[in-house]
């Protein structure tokens, strides 16, 4: 078990005084390894809060560089970072917030050839990606590797999230089956997103990860939390694991394969 220094006891004091966390919970956080896939709108708040919380090791995956149009919502990156690989920009901010955290960077995009090996080494995974082929690939990999994860999706003023414990709770494919046809998808840069909505959803994902690590409360298992920031209505839709699920049901999947990448210029 980890022995906290005086600096760490002071730094994490507001966690430690929480009855449901305490020194034991903070030790669990310090001994945990969490992978954040995507250092964008969702990954930014997640990575910042997990670093601040003292997660022992955080992996962060992104193959992109910071662009001016990212800065309206990707709050881990600054104006001076334009052109810098997102993983390097993110790592610098995370270490600035909390030098006790070990940050491992993966400056690449995940695909069927690399995702399983990376995911396997972590206790929990955050989906902060921006396309369906990646979201379904992450679901497949987490089910195959039996690693719990948080699904997150945002669009315009809305967000949705669920937490998945493979083989115990419903997976993303139990609910959404497979990527929608490319010509129907309004996910790309032209659909738009209110910056603060990314923060709302990302912080929910960070809270779910920390709840799971500490073992407190009720994760978003078997339910999809959706919200509309225009009305500020939040809703939980309940469901069960689908025994016929293409990914985690009966036969299920046995190996990982890439989903067809979606072209962004399709109709809105």
* Site residues for another protein per CB under 8 A: 38, 40-43, 70, 74, 127-132, 135, 152-155, 158-160, 174-177, 180-181, 184-187, 191, 193, 198, 224, 226, 235, 237-240, 242
Task: Give 144 or 185: the residue with its C-beta nearer to another protein.
Answer: 185
Output the smallest distance, CB 188 to another protein, in A. Answer: 8
Task: Give 193 or 214: the residue with its C-beta nearer to another protein.
Answer: 193
Output the smallest distance, CB 133 to another protein, in A. Answer: 9
3 state SS for the chain: CCCCCHHHHHHCHHHHCCCCCHHHHHHHHHCCEEEEECCCCCHHHHHHHHHHHCCCEEEEECCCECCHHHCCCCCCCCHHHCCCEHHHHHHHHHHHHCCCCEEEEECCCCCCCCHHHHHCCCCEEEECCCCHHHHHHHHHHHHHHCCCEEEEEEEECEEEEEEECCCCCCCHHHHHCCCCCHHHCCCCCCCCECHHHHHHHHHHHHHHHHHHHHCCCCCCCCEEEEEECCCCEEEEEECCCCCCCCCCCCCCCCCCCCCCCCCCCCCC
Output the smallest distance, CB 235 to another protein, in A. Answer: 6
Task: Give 26 or 161: the residue with its C-beta nearer to another protein.
Answer: 161
Task: Give 155 or 253: the residue with its C-beta nearer to another protein.
Answer: 155
Output the smallest distance, CB 154 to another protein, in A. Answer: 4
């Amino acid at each position: 078990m980890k022995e906290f220094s005086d600096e760490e006891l002071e730094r994490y004091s507001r966690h430690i005084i929480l009855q449901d966390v305490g020194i034991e919970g903070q030790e669990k956080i310090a001994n945990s390894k969490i992978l954040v896939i995507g250092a964008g709108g969702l990954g930014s708040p997640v990575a910042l809060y997990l670093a601040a919380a003292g997660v022992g090791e955080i992996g962060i995956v992104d193959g992109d560089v910071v662009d001016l149009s990212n800065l309206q919502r990707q709050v881990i990156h600054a104006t001076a970072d334009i052109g810098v690989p997102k993983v390097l920009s993110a790592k610098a901010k995370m270490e600035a917030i909390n030098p006790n955290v070990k940050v491992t960077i993966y400056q690449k995009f995940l695909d069927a050839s690399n995702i399983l090996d990376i995911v396997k080494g972590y206790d929990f995974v955050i989906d902060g990606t921006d396309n369906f082929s990646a979201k379904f690939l992450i679901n497949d990999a987490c089910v195959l590797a039996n690693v719990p994860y948080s699904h997150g999706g945002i669009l315009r003023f809305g967000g949705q999230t669920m937490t998945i414990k493979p083989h115990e709770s419903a997976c993303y494919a139990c609910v959404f089956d497979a990527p929608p046809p490319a010509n129907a998808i309004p996910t790309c840069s032209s659909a738009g997103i209110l910056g603060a909505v990314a923060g709302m959803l990302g912080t929910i994902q960070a809270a779910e990860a920390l709840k799971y690590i500490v073992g407190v409360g009720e994760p978003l298992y078997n339910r999809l939390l959706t919200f509309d920031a225009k009305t500020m209505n939040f809703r939980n839709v309940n469901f069960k694991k689908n025994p016929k699920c293409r990914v985690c049901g009966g036969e299920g999947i046995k190996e990982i394969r890439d989903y067809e990448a979606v072209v962004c210029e399709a109709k809105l």
